[in-house]
A and B are shown apart, each in its own frame.
Chain A
Amino acid sequence: MRGVRATHIDHIVISSNDSAATAKLFAENLGIDIKRTMSRPGTRAHLEFAKLQEVVLEFAGPGEVKPYDEVKARLWGIVFAVDDIDAAVAHLRGLGHNVTDPSVAVQPGAKIATVKDGTSGVPFAMIQYNAIPTDEMKREA
Chain B
Amino acid sequence: MKAKKIDHIGIVVNDLNEGMKTFADNFGFAADTSKGGENARLGIKNAFMPVGESDLEFIQPMTEEGPVATFAKDRGEGMFMLSIAVDDVAAAVEHLRALGYRAGDANNGVAFVSMRSTHGVNLQLIQRA
Contact = CB atoms under 8 A, between A and B. Distances in A.
Contacts of A21: 119
A141 interface: no
Interface in B6-35: 6, 9, 11-13, 19, 22-29
A2 to B, nearest CB: 5
A96 to B, nearest CB: 10
Interface string A46-65: 00000011110100000000
Interface string A23-50: 0010001111000000000000000000
A81 B53 CA distance: 12
A39 B90 CA distance: 37
Nearest to B25: A95
B3 A92 contact: no
B82 A30 contact: no
A55 B5 contact: yes
B118 A55 contact: no
A6 B26 CA distance: 11
Nearest to A115: B26
Q: Is the interface of B mostly helix, strand, loop or mixed?
A: mixed
* Interface size of B as a range: 35 or more
Contacts of B101: 29
B50 to A, nearest CB: 10
B52 A7 contact: yes
Interface of B: 1-6, 9, 11-13, 19, 22-29, 51-54, 58, 75-82, 84, 96, 99, 101, 118-122
Interface of A: 1-9, 12, 14, 16, 21-22, 25, 29-32, 52-55, 57, 71-78, 80-81, 92, 95, 97, 118-123
13 contacts: A3-B29, A9-B9, A14-B82, A22-B119, A31-B1, A52-B84, A53-B5, A55-B5, A55-B54, A72-B120, A74-B120, A80-B27, A120-B19
